[in-house]
Structure 1
Amino acid sequence: MKLYKIETTQHINASIEECWDFFSSPKNLQTITPDTMRFEILDFDNKRMYPGQIITYTLKPLLGIKISWATEITVSVENHYFVDIQLSGPYKLWHHKHFFETTETGVKMTDIVHYALPFGYLGRIMNKLVVANKLKAIFNYRYSKIEEHFNTKVQ
């Protein structure tokens, strides 16, 4: 199984509590996901994030093909980090760590995603041709939405 890694870092002009409040609410996933993906949360029990929480949703990431996805929050340490993994969905493996670190001027947020695709060699080709670029575009969109939400407010 070929593992791929994406790592992004972003500075957020907010307190750690404000960041945690936003990112620990599954309903905000829709805010930071491109509209073109038609992301729709089906169920997350309307509670703040906690270990063992299951979140189910659908999206249309490519050619309008609808995909069902289920993730589980495996670890959640308030104001520090959380981890989600794919239970079912398009990846052979999806492990996403979200870290929040207080800085002198706000919060440093780091995302680290390890993922693998199904279908062996064909999956490697698909990663090179489509998936890696699509994920990069999604994280770029997310970056801009977070900038808009946190870093463009008048202080």
Structure 2
Amino acid sequence: MKLYQLKSKQYLSISTREAWDFLSDPANLALITPEHMGFDILDGADRKMFPGQIIQYYVKPFPGYTTKWVTEITQVQQGSYFVDEQRFGPYSLWHHKHFINEIEGGVAMEDIIDYKLPFGILGQIAHPILVKKQLEQIFKYREQKLNTLFGNIPEMKNTLEFKTI
């Protein structure tokens, strides 16, 4: 079974505190998720992130398919990073690290996601056709939304890359 990795880096012209306040509030995830994903938080987003927090939501990753997704916030370093891991949902493995680093003129926001698909060879076939494209679309939407909300740093180039590990 293949393990995939997505790395995204985005530069925003806001303070570390502003970035942390926004990103550590689970309710804000709905604001930066494309509407067609049918993202609906069911439970666990009533408080700022803390280790052990369980967040439950519905998501529609593909037309005609809605699933419940349960994540746990496993690590939090106030103002710097947090990690969420899928406990139940569409992936065999989902481990998502979120980093916020202060840079001149704002912050560098970095996401590193290690993930594995179910269904063996069928999952591997679906990766380039469906899953990778969907993740690219989600992160491009998120990039645009965050730029609209907070402004980007024009001289810095945002990146999005995938690899098999």
What TM-score results when the alignment is normalised by the length of structure 1? 0.96
Write the letter of the residue equivalent to 2:141.
Y
Write the letter of the residue equivalent to 1:43.
D
Residue 23 (structure 1) aligns with: 23
Write the letter of the residue equivalent to 1:5.
Q
**Identity percentage of aligned residues:** 49
Gapped runs of 5+ residues in structure 2?
153-165
How far the C-alpha of 1:60 sits from its partner, in A, is 1.1
- Higher relative contact order at CA 8 Å, sep ≥6: structure 1 or structure 2? 2
Gapped runs of 5+ residues in structure 1?
none
Residue-by-residue CA offset, 1:88-123 (whole Å, 9 max, x unaligned): 000000000000000111100000011000111111
Distance 2:151 2:63 in 1: 33
- Aligned in 2, Cα 1:45/1:145: closer, same or farther, shift over 3 Å? closer
How far the C-alpha of 1:59 sits from its partner, in A, is 1.1
Residue 12 (structure 1) aligns with: 12
Aligned residues: 152
Residue 90 (structure 1) aligns with: 90
Residue 52 (structure 1) aligns with: 52
Residue 145 (structure 1) aligns with: 145
Write the letter of the residue equivalent to 1:130.
L
Write the letter of the residue equivalent to 1:48.
K
Q: Secondary structure at the match of 1:125?
A: helix
Distance 1:72 1:41 in 2: 14
Residue 104 (structure 2) aligns with: 104
Q: Which consecutive segments of 4 or more residues in structure 1 shift more than 4 A?
A: none
How far the C-alpha of 1:64 sits from its partner, in A, is 2.6
Residue-by-residue CA offset, 1:55-111 (whole Å, 9 max, x unaligned): 000011212311100000000001110000000000000000000000111100000
What TM-score results when the alignment is normalised by the length of structure 2? 0.90
Write the letter of the residue equivalent to 1:22.
F
Q: How do 1:112-123 residues align onto structure 2 when only pairs under 5 Å count?
A: 112-123=112-123
How far the C-alpha of 1:2 sits from its partner, in A, is 0.8
How far the C-alpha of 1:45 sits from its partner, in A, is 5.1
Distance 1:125 1:45 in 2: 34
Residue 159 (structure 2) aligns with: none
Write the letter of the residue equivalent to 1:25.
D
Residue-by-residue CA offset, 1:18-75 (whole Å, 9 max, x unaligned): 0000000000000000001110000015111000000000011212311100000000
CA contact (8 A) 2:27 2:45 kept: no
